[in-house]
Structure 1
Amino acid sequence: MKNIFIRNEQQRQWLEKLASLRYNIASEAATVDALSTFPKDSFRLLGDIGYPTVTLPKAYGGEGFSVYDMVLLQETLASYDENTALSIGWTLGVVGELYEKKLWTDALLDFFASEVRKGVIVNRSVSEARTGSPTRGGRPGTNAVRSEKGWILNGHKIFTTASPVLDYFLTSAWIEEKQQTGFFLIHKSATGLSIEENWDVMSMRGTGSHDLILQNVEVKETDLVELPNHPSGGKMNGWLLHIPATYLGIAQAARDYAIQFANHHQPNSLNAPISSLPNVQQLLGEIELKLQQARFVLYGTAEAYDDPQRRETLTNEIAVAKHTVTNTAIDIVDKAMRVVGAKSLQNTNPLQRYYRNVRAGLHNPPMDDMTITKLALTAIEEQKQ
């Protein structure tokens, strides 16, 4: 990580904490990918240093990290293991958004802060096979019906990232009597809640994004914690920048491997390593250029979001950052593989894992087509006004 993006001592100390875990987290990455298991050991190590509390405000007993801080840590963590970073990133993002926007009652926020301080892992469970991503506006098929004790939920969610270790599922459901989508906070111990372990993909194999099954799950009245006015939450959410931060971390790891390879690989037809070749230097230079471009977009957007006054002027910047960084990261990994050549395709080479995993960013929200359409519509409306 370039020192230009480290702004204070607290950030430096936390980066050092992560660095102390680097070997153990990185050494688990290849096995987790190969076996499509979940990096539970890495989560345990992160829990030991209190990582799940970094985005909990200081007033609630957390580290009080901003979006910028989170991005800095998540990019670094992803350069060690992208599956671990993306999985725990959802907890950091959910906690950050909940307390920034005060989405729950004061009493519930106090309760959940005590849970976060204990190291609980939480994620929103919103995607469904019929509706796809909720950002496209589909009504959830999961439904909630009032009961004598509260609510009864039935439904089937997909892409429930980190499901093997989630303590809480913040689950969307259609409430017929309210004609509205609500979010329910469901503990993993709830009767009728189960995980169907069917995550079988080529990318991000270690995120445990299995299906969540809800069969007559009964929750309390107070477990209905959110009634948003828009199916995707409506308001701009800078905490989603943990997503592009993860893919930028993959690009950094690919860059590091390519540089190391270029400096040490010397065929017998050359008198020096391949880093001396103009065509290799061209590729490495393009990688450096794209990394810097992506970083300034990502960190600049995070910095703007963290400033309450500047935040009010933002429109599509979060989506632009995600689009720019994820697509640039894909290009960086491709160029790194060109430097390394056919060896990059060997199953023992980490570049083939980066190549598969970096493409998953295209399918995390917001999707590219929605970003481009929103930019066009915004420009059209601004001209009309």
Structure 2
Amino acid sequence: MSLMKPFIQTERQQRWIDTLLEQKETFQSHTKENDANGTFPHANVQRLIDLGYTSLTLSEAYGGENITISELVSFQETLGQIDSVTALSVGWHMGVTGEVYAKKLWSDDMLAYFANEVKHGALTNRALSEAKTGSPTRGGRPGTTAIRKGTGWLIDGRKSYTTMSPALTHFLITAWVEELGVIGTFLVPKETEGVEVIETWDVMSMRASESHDVLFDQVFVEDEWFVERDPADRKGRPNPYSLHIASCYMGIAQAARDEAVQFALTHQPNSIDTTISELPNVQQHIGEMDVTLTQMRHVLYGVARLCDEGRMDTFTNEMAVAKYTVTNGALKIVDHAMRLVGGQSLRMDHPLQQHYRDVRAGLHNPPMDEMTILNAAQAALKDMKEQMN
């Protein structure tokens, strides 16, 4: 917590961080069981709903608190320290609602409707990925289709990696609309006939997120549920709320560091007269972790502050670099923590082995590392060419 203190700027921010930390014991009471069985932390997410957390990113006009990006980052980091799956899962909902209401992507009627749903417990996530097209960030056209039928649309397709699928009340899905020649986005209530969650999630990382496939078999929705008709509304416009992804992995890294430092201060082999915290090689690991954490946090919160100041129009690759910096730094920190603690960190009942598995999921959340690096290189070349002309 002490490393985050310089980045806490408001009373509201501190109040919510304190509230989230108060949930730590309860949220962690089933972490091992959920991870082992791959079962979603329903109770944790329900508690966040009851606290009003899931409506924080709604704009004030629709009954939310319109929290800043810096506040969101600190809240999601705090959750990441407590329970990684809870943080990543609810983060997707926060990221979606934040972007939709900040950019007013939907009609006024639909914004009003869904804000009311969120305030009564609704949860959503974008279901974009498909087995054949891979990550949507790579530009593939979805195999899911939407065909005009009467007063609405008939949707057919299958989405993969739908995080929090058991708890979602609404899916925000992309589909190819041949009639318009565009990739459209539809808000589909989970109880709609033809919607089925198919339990396919069996992985080593974020096991309890239940990021299953979702099948849309001849799903009919009325025209008003076709909420995003112009891909240009999102394309090329950074979503600052996507920083929730990096924030989660920042939290995991902090938790791993804390576990290792606590171990160093309490573990005393009978071969030495003090705890291992006095050993130079142990202090080397601790120092490496804190230097890396400081670098990560300054990049992440620095980008968040620029977003809050409305300076995203000056961005080239900053948000992607923040995600790249944090996720790769988190891998290094967990590695240092496990080297410090030693072989017992590999025990299945030790928290570090779950941190090790969960933090690797960050490599596969968008944007991908190679795209970030390629974009950085291309931006550098473009900038230098302009200077030379």
Quote the offset at 1:229 in angstroms: 2.9
C-alpha contact 1:304 1:311 (8 A) present in aligned 2: yes
Alignment partner for residue 144 of structure 1, among 143, 146, 160?
146
- Consecutive unaligned residues in structure 2, runs of 5 or more: none
Cα pair distance change 1:361/1:46, threshold 3 Å: same
Aligned residue runs from structure 1 range 4-23, under 5 A? 4-23=6-25
Instruction: Tell me the distance in 2 between the aligned counterparts of 1:50 and 1:13.
Output: 13
C-alpha contact 1:139 1:231 (8 A) present in aligned 2: no
Q: Secondary structure of 1:219's partner?
A: strand
- Consecutive unaligned residues in structure 1, runs of 5 or more: none
Residue 378 (structure 2) aligns with: 377
Instruction: Tell me the distance in 1 between the aligned counterparts of 2:331 and 2:217.
Output: 40
Quote the offset at 1:176 in angstroms: 0.6
C-alpha contact 1:203 1:360 (8 A) present in aligned 2: yes
Instruction: Tell me the distance in 2 between the aligned counterparts of 1:299 and 1:80.
Output: 19
Instruction: Tell me the distance in 2 between the aligned counterparts of 1:374 and 1:34.
Output: 38
Aligned-partner residue type, residue 325 of structure 1: V
**Deviation string, structure 1 residues 224-272 (Cα, Å, up to 9, x no partner):** 1002335973311111100010001000110110011000111000100
Instruction: Tell me the distance in 1 between the aligned counterparts of 2:372 and 2:250.
Output: 19
Alignment partner for residue 218 of structure 2, among 211, 216, 219?
216
**Deviation string, structure 1 residues 209-233 (Cα, Å, up to 9, x no partner):** 0001000000001111002335973
Aligned residue runs from structure 1 range 1-385, under 5 A? 1=1, 2-229=4-231, 233-308=235-310, 310-385=311-386
Aligned-partner residue type, residue 335 of structure 1: H
C-alpha contact 1:248 1:326 (8 A) present in aligned 2: yes
Instruction: Tell me the distance in 1 between the aligned counterparts of 2:309 and 2:301.
Output: 13
Instruction: Tell me the distance in 2 between the aligned counterparts of 1:322 and 1:333.
Output: 17
Instruction: Tell me the distance in 2 between the aligned counterparts of 1:163 and 1:337.
Output: 32
Structure 1 window deviating more from structure 2 (232-241 vs 195-204): it is 232-241
Instruction: Tell me the distance in 2 between the aligned counterparts of 1:334 and 1:193.
Output: 41
Aligned-partner residue type, residue 90 of structure 2: I
Instruction: Tell me the distance in 2 between the aligned counterparts of 1:176 and 1:48.
Output: 41
Quote the offset at 1:54 in angstroms: 1.1
Cα pair distance change 1:379/1:228, threshold 3 Å: farther
Q: Secondary structure of 2:39's partner?
A: coil
Quote the offset at 1:45 in angstroms: 1.1
Instruction: Tell me the distance in 2 between the aligned counterparts of 1:146 and 1:75.
Output: 43
Instruction: Tell me the distance in 2 between the aligned counterparts of 1:73 and 1:244.
Output: 12
C-alpha contact 1:138 1:231 (8 A) present in aligned 2: no
Q: Secondary structure of 1:312's partner?
A: helix
Structure 1 window deviating more from structure 2 (52-61 vs 185-194): it is 52-61
> What is the RMSD computed on CA atoms of the aligned residues?
1.1
Instruction: Tell me the distance in 2 between the aligned counterparts of 1:111 and 1:42.
Output: 25
Structure 1 window deviating more from structure 2 (225-234 vs 198-207): it is 225-234
Instruction: Tell me the distance in 1 between the aligned counterparts of 2:168 and 2:230.
Output: 23
Instruction: Tell me the distance in 1 between the aligned counterparts of 2:46 and 2:235.
Output: 31
Between the two proteins, the alignment pairs up a number of residues equal to: 384
Instruction: Tell me the distance in 1 between the aligned counterparts of 2:231 and 2:43.
Output: 39
Percent identity reads 51
Aligned-partner residue type, residue 270 of structure 1: I
Q: Secondary structure of 2:221's partner?
A: strand
Instruction: Tell me the distance in 1 between the aligned counterparts of 2:234 and 2:15.
Output: 35
Q: Secondary structure of 2:373's partner?
A: helix
Instruction: Tell me the distance in 1 between the aligned counterparts of 2:332 and 2:252.
Output: 11
Structure 1 window deviating more from structure 2 (56-65 vs 124-133): it is 56-65
TM-score for both structures, normalised by structure 2:
0.97
Q: Secondary structure of 1:211's partner?
A: strand
TM-score for both structures, normalised by structure 1:
0.98
Aligned-partner residue type, residue 366 of structure 1: P
Instruction: Tell me the distance in 1 between the aligned counterparts of 2:220 and 2:289.
Output: 52
Instruction: Tell me the distance in 1 between the aligned counterparts of 2:293 and 2:282.
Output: 17
Structure 1 window deviating more from structure 2 (23-32 vs 281-290): it is 23-32
Instruction: Tell me the distance in 2 between the aligned counterparts of 1:318 and 1:134.
Output: 17
Quote the offset at 1:369 in angstroms: 0.4
